[in-house]
Amino acid sequence: MAEIIVPAHVAIVMDGNGRWAKKRLLPRAAGHRAGMKRMIALSGHAFSCGVKCLTLFALSTENLSRPKEELDALYGLFREFFPAQAEELYANGIALTVIGERELLPADIAALIGEAEEKTATGDRGRLVLAIGYGARQEILSAANRAAKGGKELTEEEFSSLLYTKDLPPLDLLIRTGGEQRLSNFLLYQAAYAELYFSEKMFPEFTDRDFDEALKEFSRRDRRFGRV
Ligand code: IPE
Ligand code: MG
């Protein structure tokens, strides 16, 4: 069997919760709950495969314009997730980081995020990054504006240090579930040389085995980074 190369940094656009629920005649909120359950189990699996950094797209800046009812359901899930998972992640040596515009979130959720980040900060087995209220254009624009205020040209390294991902390893593999083949404003700068992998499965039904399949496919790719 061919050797599996485990990517250090994997990102996932967790898409398809709503359609998963619709197919089962369930409310969209039930799809998000199933998605959260899958997300927790899949993260554990990814770290046990040897992935060092896992970045998950949980809520985009554009998602913030969804109907209030749906946003409330998502916020309710975050209110459950952070306190419970902070303990769990801490026990497993995983540090949690949230990227995105925290001011766009309800204040109590921003506070729970801060507490969870603090609680897990010493984790050195891996890093779980949740993108919440995140938009890549906004991230790049904010970095560009800060760079402009500095009044001098920056190197690529200096510019990267202005992004949310400044302390993370380069992105190796970007997976999107749910059948769409686009980035939807996720990690536009960081994905420059990431391998892209698209799955037809809706996120709640994307199994650990499906993740293994993505790692196998990643291992088969010939990454040349623009060289020969
Ligand atoms: C992804 O599932 C989860 C979030 C964006 C919060 P969707 O809610 O986009 O599900 P679909 O695309 O409608 O199936
Ligand atoms: Mg969607």
Residue 16 alpha carbon, nearest atom of ligand 1: 14
Instruction: Give the residue, out of 14, 17, 201, with the most ligand 1 atoms within 8 A of its beta carbon, to mutate for a pocket test.
Output: 17
We report the CATH number of the domain holding residue 170 as 3.40.1180.10
Q: How far is CA 59 from CA 5, 92, 221, in A?
A: 29, 25, 29
* Range list of β-strands (E), the chain: 9-13, 53-60, 94-99, 126-134, 173-176, 195-198
Question: What is the overall mean pLDDT for the chain?
Answer: 97
Q: How many domains does the chain have?
A: 1
Domain membership of residue 113 (yes or no) is yes
Cβ neighbour number for residue 13 with a 10 Å cutoff: 25
pLDDT tens digits, one per residue of 151-188: 999 999 999 999 999 999 999 999 999 999 999 999 99
- Ligand nearest to the CA of residue 57, numbered in listed order: 1
- Backbone φ, ψ for residue 226 (5° rounding): 85, -5
pLDDT of 2? 78
CA distance 162 to 71: 29
Residue 212 covered by a domain: no
Choosing from 12, 13, 14, 15 the residue with most ligand 1 atoms within 8 A of its CB, the one to mutate for a pocket test is: 15
CA distances from 32 to 58, 82, 94, 205 (A): 10, 15, 23, 12
45-55, pLDDT tens digit by residue? 999 999 999 99
pTM of the predicted structure, to 2 decimals: 0.97
Judged against a pLDDT cut of 80, whether residue 224 lies above it is answered with yes
Domain that holds residue 197: 52-206
Ligand 2 centre distance from Cα of residue 178 (Å): 7
